[in-house]
Chains A and B, each alone.
Chain A
Amino acid sequence: MKENQKLPEIVVSSGSMKINKTGSWRNLRPEIDYSKCIRCMICWKFCPDACIKINKEGIKLAPRENLKKEPAPEIDYDYCKGCGICAEECPAKCIAMLKEKK
């Protein structure tokens, strides 16, 4: 089918903006130090880009034994724009904003 015919008759969406990998906008890269992360999920709560995922399996590196199996935040670098709200709001101060290597 020709490209024009594939377009809908009306101006309506048919897909998700997930095709747009906004990670390429990033200048600073947040890195979570899981040895300090207390799994409070405050970073997840405040992310405007909905790009902090909840890893339900848990992450073995943790400040305390009982946190190893707790769900842990994981940054989706495909979409993270590097705004740094997560680092600013982290009560454990365990997210570092590092210069992105381009």
Chain B
Amino acid sequence: MKKLLIGNHAVSYGAMLSRAEVIAAYPITPQTQVVEELAELCASGKLKAQFIKVESEHSAMSACIGAAQAGARAFTATSSQGLALMHEVLHWAANARLPIVMANINRAMAPGWNIWADHIDSLAQRDTGWMQFYAETNQEVLDTIIIAYKVCERVLLPAMINLDAFFLSHTAQSVEIPEQDMVDEFLPPYNPEIKLDPDDPRAFGGLLPPKYYMEMRCKLHSAHRNALKIIEEEEKNFFKIFKRKYGLVDEFYTKDAQIIIVTSSTITSTAREFVMRERKKGRKLGLLKVRVFRPFPFEKIRGALKNCEKLVVIDRNISYGNAGIFATEIKSALYGFRNVPVFGFVAGLGGRDVQLEDIEGMVDFARKKNFSKDEIWWGLKK
């Protein structure tokens, strides 16, 4: 069934169709409709879940950790400051290897207060051990939540589905809502073998001395590496049922492109528009959307960038004192493989619009130069 859905409701539907069993969430702009819709769905009986209306995001994640350790499918959603407050227990969820799925509405960090889109909130959680997906459309948001549960429960890792504040969260798009029985066919009930169980009493997360600590962390890292393969497998399974696929990355005219634009999230749609316009003019421009950021799809990225001459990476984030994070990681993927000039643009922070003309300007900039040592802050006031 097709329905006009805002991104936040796509999140709620994704959680409902995944049959989340425990939901714990705390409202924050621009995520509030996720919580409101889930409360409605629970109250109406459409979703049979335990909904804990917690007093903070730290508690939202801690409740999910408890629920998942007890063997239930847990869900939460947050944004920005809320995600930052969760930081400690994000590590906990990943180190405990709990398959929790969370939607994060990407929003800038204060001060000053800013409720609009950028990616610093989620990228600051890069090293917590969570898988990170960045969605371009509301359909992708809904589908990715379902796919993420399947992957998480296979590899024992949590996943964060990121969507841009307002550009997706509050924007209605036509979304195909999958039938429940088809989702059930794809995603079986979650029944882990080892959980909190008085018939099999075990202690979870106790004292872990140096003798074992590294081994356990290496297992977490290996799970990430393995997840690359599992995500692809499950995307194939998803495609068989729903005829939609997304990939670790999405390549658009990359094969013969001289310049490839690298994006994530909603800027991708604008860049895609620009690439199509340029292609009509016969200009060899391509686009690479990085959809899965953790685990980082090194091989896919190398494959997509094997022929181009220059790269334009658009970062809606900044790692202060270094550069845009996607640009930095793309460079690390290319090290020892290809020496291609990477033009890293920092753009769209705090919800500033990145329009066709901006992307055109970035590509022009790259065409004219051979090299840029530093990142370029795009559109700063003169």
The residues of A with any CB-CB pair to B shorter than 8 Å are 4, 7-14
Contacts and interface: CB of A to CB of B under 8 A. Distances in A.
A83 to B, nearest CB: 22
Nearest to B218: A4
A12 B204 contact: yes
B215 A11 contact: no
Nearest to A14: B202
B206 A11 contact: yes
B97 interface: yes
> Is the contact region of chain A dominated by helix, strand, or loop, or is it mixed?
loop
B279 interface: no
A13 B197 CA distance: 13
A10 B96 contact: yes
6 contacts: A10-B156, A11-B95, A11-B208, A12-B203, A13-B204, A14-B202
B182 interface: no
Contact of B215 (A7, A12, A13, A14): A7
Give the bracket for the number of chain B residues in contact with chain A: 10 to 19
Given A7-B219, A9-B223, A11-B208, 7 more contacts: A7-B216, A9-B219, A10-B97, A10-B156, A10-B194, A11-B96, A11-B206
A12 B194 contact: yes
Contacts of B194: 8, 10, 12
A12 B223 CA distance: 17
Contacts of B212: 7
B216 A11 contact: yes
Contacts of B219: 7, 9
A10 B215 contact: no
A9 B97 contact: yes
B215 A4 contact: yes
Contacts of A7: 212, 215-216, 219
Contact of B156 (A4, A9, A14): A9
* Minimum-distance CB pairs A-B, first 6: A13-B203, A10-B97, A13-B202, A12-B202, A12-B204, A11-B205
A20 B208 CA distance: 16
Q: Which of A7, A8, A12 has the most CB of B within 10 A?
A: A12
A11 B204 contact: yes
